[in-house]
Amino acid sequence: MMAEKYTIAIVEDDSGIRDLVVDILTRDGYETRAFGSVEDFHRKCEIPLIDCLILDLMLPGQDGLSLCRQLRISIPRLPILMVTAKGDEIDRIVGLEMGADDYLAKPFSSRELLARLRAVLRRTHEAIGVADRSDCELYRFNGWTLSIGARDLIDPEGRSVVLTTSEFDLLHILVTCPQRVLSRELLIDRTRGRGANPNDRVIDVQLSRLRRKLGEDPREPAMIRTVRGDGYLFAPVVLKV
């Protein structure tokens, strides 16, 4: 995966941090587009040309959470790497609930920034490759259909359910390993890369979002079950077509 193939947008109001991120990414071969506010992003960014957004949540005017929410409606599969203050776990959880794919806590090192960015881009890149090889691959369970080639989830009434890249990847893993307990560590490794902290809340929030989109009762989920101390189990019988 060559860094120069990718254009990264950065929305960060702190000019020092913004310039530092641009410098780190440029030296690693990425194209960058930097913006000091959400309003600046909307005015100047050619969104179809960017491959990932690095988004600070605490911004003047319209905040990063609002932009994340908007983009998840208009461009659900754009990878979003959000940046939060180190101690603000609630902001990270809210950001993930809004659909961010991963997070960085300030202050972060250049190595951590590049590792998280590469992991997000790799998942997107691999997903496109899987789709290219699996144009007709379908998984059916409990009246639902997951189309790998179209990267689409169809509910029992025939309606399309929008999934983010991370949610799609997570459901893809679950339907290919049904009725087996999958550890949190395995799911984190498969969706966020080996460098991710196994104790953070990212995978839990993404599972919660996926459950809601599958119409699950959060108090008694029937399809994605929690196995205390071991991980998660996708309970339905899955038919691969």
The pLDDT, as a whole number, for residue 131 is 47
What's 223's domain CATH number?
1.10.10.10
Q: Let me know whether 140 and 67 are in one domain.
A: no
Q: Which amino acid is at 96?
A: L
Same domain, 94 and 202: no
Q: Do 139 and 113 reside in the same domain of the chain?
A: no
Residues 31 and 118 placed together within one structural domain of the fold: yes
| Nearest residue to 84 via CA among 111, 59, 57 | 57
147 and 232 belong to one structural domain = yes
Give φ, ψ of 28 to 5 degrees: -90, 5
Both 155 and 184 in a single domain? Answer: yes
128, 144, 169 — which closes off a domain?
Answer: 128
Question: 82, 99, 128 — which closes off a domain?
Answer: 128
How confident is the model at residue 87, as a pLDDT? Answer: 60
Same domain for 18 and 123? yes
Q: What is the pLDDT of residue 194?
A: 60
Q: Per-residue pLDDT tens for 9-25?
A: 999 999 999 999 999 99
Query: What is the predicted pLDDT for the residue at 199?
Result: 62
Q: Are residues 12 and 73 in the same domain?
A: yes
Residues 6+ apart with CB under 8 A from 38: 11, 59, 61, 62, 63, 64, 66, 67
Classify the C-alpha dihedral 177-179-182-188 as positive or negative.
Answer: positive
Q: Are residues 175 and 123 in the same domain?
A: no
Cβ contacts of 42 within 8 Å, gap of 6 or more = none
Query: Do 103 and 147 fall within a single domain?
Result: no
How many residues belong to the chain?
A: 241
Specify whether 153 is located in the same domain as 37: no
Domain count, the chain: 2
- Shared-domain flag, residues 105 and 18: yes
Q: Give the whole-angstrom CA distance, residue 13 versus residue 60.
A: 7
Give the residue numbers spanning the domain of 52.
3-128
Residue 154, pLDDT score: 93
Q: Of 181, 228, 212, whose CA–CA distance to 96 is shortest?
A: 212
Q: Tell me which residues of the chain have a pLDDT lower than 50.
A: 1-4, 130-134
The two tokens of residue 216 are 């699950």
Domain boundary among 64, 99, 128: 128
| SS3 at position 152 | strand
pLDDT of residue 88: 67
Domain with 119 in it: what CATH number? Answer: 3.40.50.2300
